[in-house]
Chains A and B, each alone.
Chain A
């Protein structure tokens, strides 16, 4: 009969039974949720490291996409969602382009950012973009200097967007409100004031 590798001391075997592979704060459902949002079968990652080797953020920070992939599969939800490195992905998609398993590590990061945001963990610049879009329809809105420059070019002061047709903002705000996004941005940004 084949014997599994283990200590011969039965007391010690019992003591360690659950500890060897058990991580107390692991959530096995986490990777499923990440895959559902990111639309990629992330659990198939075999840790080759092509992603980190392709990453522009890796050489200049502690951000490691391969590590995030592994932690996601291990269900280390808290560790991932509280790690500031989560926001250092430039979403260049080089890792996704090169992944030999045809996974999308970039979209895994995006999914985990979504999950962090559900816990109100979002850097302020992201929330400010949301507020700008709610108020003007643009993440980067027009200004007076630019209006003057546009007129000199023979363009209208405001482009043919929500800037010229602010009546379209009503629909945009309905969409954002459907997801409670503006309320969320306002609430979290107010915390820091």
Chain B
């Protein structure tokens, strides 16, 4: 039933820290009619904050190289990380619409026999899941064999997928609800919490520059999530996942506060709902124990 093919841009943190996200993306998308093709030789997107901060020109060129790999395959890119989305989607759009930028990038790409042509589009896998023209909520709901009933799940959208809204196409950026709808399609109860759109704290190189500062932002999110009794937090960004998951251990260490809130990428949730086992998702690699959540749904 695979009629939609995409080049699968992996990024860094999913394949190299949470491989369950990669495995579940491949398996869950197959069940709803999407085929993910390997994007051979792709690199880091590269990290928009940590890398772009030094020289935006080289950020454009490196991201363009990844786009060109997919152009050569003649297929659109899909990806599973908001940081990658910012680099790959935004550079693709910028180069398509800014001749001066594109010419500059192509002059550098010439050195490695590449040329950005602007022939493909870039999508986050989550938006393809939501889009009724590609997958849609009904197909997602129909693919569920183990409904996640009886659990409250909070959503973290992450920044680089949605913002700035004027350079995206997701509509409302202050209180979006489309990922909640995707959560609902799995049989779970999505819950709202204070300041939902607040950053996880990791981006812009701040996690590496000032860990305590970045954890303080994460901790504010944890306080707000605790208030509504969420059983788990879901997101569509492995870097946000890393910040929430490993961050909770670091918060324990630096601030002496224990939260114990399981954090799962939407692909991992979808995998569970489609009957994948925790082992098939490598949930044991998560820093925060996922067991209390699994006990409620398995």
A113's contact among B53, B198, B213, by CB below 8 Å, is which? B53
A117-B205 in contact (CB<8A) = no
Q: A60-B217, A162-B43 are in contact. Are A123 and B51 (CB under 8 A)?
A: no
Please give me the residue from chain B that is nearest to A89 by CB atom: B204
Q: A141-B12, A155-B19, A179-B58 are in contact. Are A90 and B214 (CB under 8 A)?
A: yes
B22 interface contact, C-beta 8 A: yes
A155's contact among B23, B204, B217, by CB below 8 Å, is which? B23
CB contacts (< 8 Å) of A167 on chain B: these are 41
Which of B108-116, B125-133, B138-146 is the contact stretch? B108-116
Sorting the interface of chain A by its residue count into under 10, 10 to 19, 20 to 34 or 35 or more gives 35 or more
Distance from A58 Cβ to chain B, minimum over Cβ atoms (Å): 11
Distance from A8 Cβ to chain B, minimum over Cβ atoms (Å): 52
CB contacts (< 8 Å) of B255 on chain A: these are none
A61-B19 in contact (CB<8A) = no
B147 interface contact, C-beta 8 A: no
CB contacts (< 8 Å) of A159 on chain B: these are 10, 15-16, 22
A47 interface contact, C-beta 8 A: no
A139's contact among B22, B44, B65, B98, by CB below 8 Å, is which? B44
| B-contact 0/1 string along A138-176, CB 8 Å cutoff | 111111001001101111000111111101101110111
B54-A141 in contact (CB<8A) = no
CB contacts (< 8 Å) of B148 on chain A: these are none
B209-A123 in contact (CB<8A) = yes
A52 interface contact, C-beta 8 A: no
Tell me which residues from 193 to 247 in chain B have a Cβ below 8 Å from any Cβ of chain A.
197-199, 201-206, 208-210, 213-214, 216-217, 220
A130-B23 in contact (CB<8A) = no
CB contacts (< 8 Å) of A30 on chain B: these are none
B22-A129 in contact (CB<8A) = no
CB contacts (< 8 Å) of A39 on chain B: these are 98
Q: A140-B16, A162-B42, A178-B111 are in contact. Are A89 and B206 (CB under 8 A)?
A: yes
Q: A93-B164, A97-B173, A161-B42 are in contact. Are A126 and B53 (CB under 8 A)?
A: yes
A111-B56 in contact (CB<8A) = yes
B270 interface contact, C-beta 8 A: no
Distance from B97 Cβ to chain A, minimum over Cβ atoms (Å): 11
B151 interface contact, C-beta 8 A: no
The answer for the CA separation of A88 and B279 in the assembled complex, in Å, is: 38
CB contacts (< 8 Å) of A50 on chain B: these are none
B190 interface contact, C-beta 8 A: no
| A-contact 0/1 string along B242-283, CB 8 Å cutoff | 000000000000000000000000000000000000011110
A142-B54 in contact (CB<8A) = no
The answer for the CA separation of A92 and B216 in the assembled complex, in Å, is: 15
B19-A146 in contact (CB<8A) = yes
The answer for the CA separation of A107 and B134 in the assembled complex, in Å, is: 33
Distance from A149 Cβ to chain B, minimum over Cβ atoms (Å): 5
Q: A56-B198, A92-B203, A162-B43 are in contact. Are A133 and B51 (CB under 8 A)?
A: yes
CB contacts (< 8 Å) of B57 on chain A: these are 179
A114 interface contact, C-beta 8 A: yes
B187 interface contact, C-beta 8 A: no
CB contacts (< 8 Å) of A165 on chain B: these are 40-41
B108-A97 in contact (CB<8A) = no
B163-A174 in contact (CB<8A) = no
Q: A140-B13, A149-B285 are in contact. Are A175 and B55 (CB under 8 A)?
A: no
A61-B213 in contact (CB<8A) = yes
CB contacts (< 8 Å) of A189 on chain B: these are none
Distance from B153 Cβ to chain A, minimum over Cβ atoms (Å): 22
CB contacts (< 8 Å) of A51 on chain B: these are none
B206-A94 in contact (CB<8A) = no
B17-A175 in contact (CB<8A) = no
B12-A140 in contact (CB<8A) = yes
Interface residues of A (CB under 8 A from B): 37, 39, 56-57, 60-61, 87-94, 96-97, 102, 104, 106, 110-111, 113-114, 117, 122-123, 125-130, 133, 137-143, 146, 149-150, 152-155, 159-165, 167-168, 170-172, 174-176, 178-179, 181, 184
Could you show 16 A-B contacts with beta carbons less than 8 Å apart? Answer: A56-B199, A90-B159, A90-B203, A92-B159, A94-B163, A129-B205, A133-B46, A139-B44, A139-B50, A140-B12, A146-B17, A159-B15, A159-B22, A160-B38, A171-B114, A175-B108
Interface residues of B (CB under 8 A from A): 8, 10, 12-13, 15-17, 19-20, 22-23, 38-44, 46-58, 61-62, 65, 98, 108-109, 111-112, 114, 159-160, 163-166, 173, 197-199, 201-206, 208-210, 213-214, 216-217, 220, 279-282, 285
